[in-house]
Amino acid sequence: MGRGAAFFDLDKTVIAKSSALAFGRPFYRDGLITRRDVVKSAYAQLMFRLGGTDEQTMARTRDYLAALCKGWQVEQVRQIVAETLHELINPYVYAEAAALIEEHQAAGRDVVLVSASGEEMVRPIGELLGVTDVIATRMTVQDGRYSGEVEFYAAGPSKVDAVGELAVERGYDLAESYAYSDSYSDRPLLECVGHPTVVNPDRQLRRLATENSWPVLEFRHPVPLGRRLRERPAVPVAAAALGVGVGVAIGIAWYGRHRRTRVTPVA
């Protein structure tokens, strides 16, 4: 038997917002997205909410992502993320998720963030959390710019493919592994491990969890890193247990407009 690992979805599972939406404002400020993108993205977000997480919807999201990012300089994106990470992400990390990640690491399990958001966003967030392994969407790059094609889209069944490849490479026993997500679209990820847990689940996922007697956790306390370190342990994960872990492009520009005058500075 190999050792287990712990796979965490990112948005609404580890952080209390969409990682893609979070960087919308600086992308808008630096000219990567336009007012027209704002309208298109708001419409795409509405269609996603109405249409659910079927394969066709995820394919449209993937194609929209590719078109939106075409021509962006990769280094510019990385610089924006690095400059705004502590302002836009750090205050929104769930204390319960941070504690749970530490518990898995203390038990000797590798922790892997698995997100449909771009790797340029997910990897720095992982580093903020002390997590070095990520599975995320990768865009094709030519001459330092995104080409308009998606090399790997980390959504739905594709997440499971990547998890399986990593398990073979590392010798993980998936029957002894854990997965956490808030979205029904991650059903394949949850079903591929021996210990699935749903976090802040949507209606469909809550129903699935009930049918399968999966544990359900409610994370409610986003706390900045500095405060977590001062007040450790922050919020016991056990206290959040109730019983029984795709929006890379959707709304990314909409966030730039919605948050332009509402960014909260970090103390």
Contact (CB, 8 A) for 151 and 140:
yes
**161 is a catalytic site residue:** no
* Block residue for tokens 């990682």: 19
**11 is a catalytic site residue:** yes
The whole-model pTM stands at: 0.81
Which residues touch 127 (CB under 8 Å, ≥6 apart)?
none
Residue (of 15, 42, 234) closest to 129 by Cα position: 15
Give the separation between CA 2 and CA 110, rounded to whole angstroms.
12
- What is the predicted pLDDT for the residue at 207? 96
Task: Find the catalytic residue in 11, 37, 110, 186.
Answer: 11
Give the separation between CA 150 and CA 152, rounded to whole angstroms.
6
- What is the predicted pLDDT for the residue at 63? 86
Dihedral sign, Cα of residue 206, residue 217, residue 175, residue 165: positive
- What is the predicted pLDDT for the residue at 41? 63
Helix (H, G, I), strand (E, B) or coil at 114: strand
Task: Find the catalytic residue in 9, 37, 110, 182.
Answer: 9
Q: Which domains does the chain have, with CATH numbers?
A: 5-227 (3.40.50.1000)
pLDDT tens-digit profile, the chain (267 residues): 579 999 999 999 999 988 877 787 888 889 988 867 766 665 665 555 444 556 777 777 788 888 889 999 999 999 999 999 999 999 999 999 999 999 999 999 999 999 988 999 999 999 999 999 999 999 999 999 999 999 999 988 999 999 999 999 999 999 999 999 998 889 999 999 999 999 999 889 999 999 999 999 999 999 886 665 555 544 434 333 332 223 333 333 333 444 443 433 333
- What is the predicted pLDDT for the residue at 85? 94
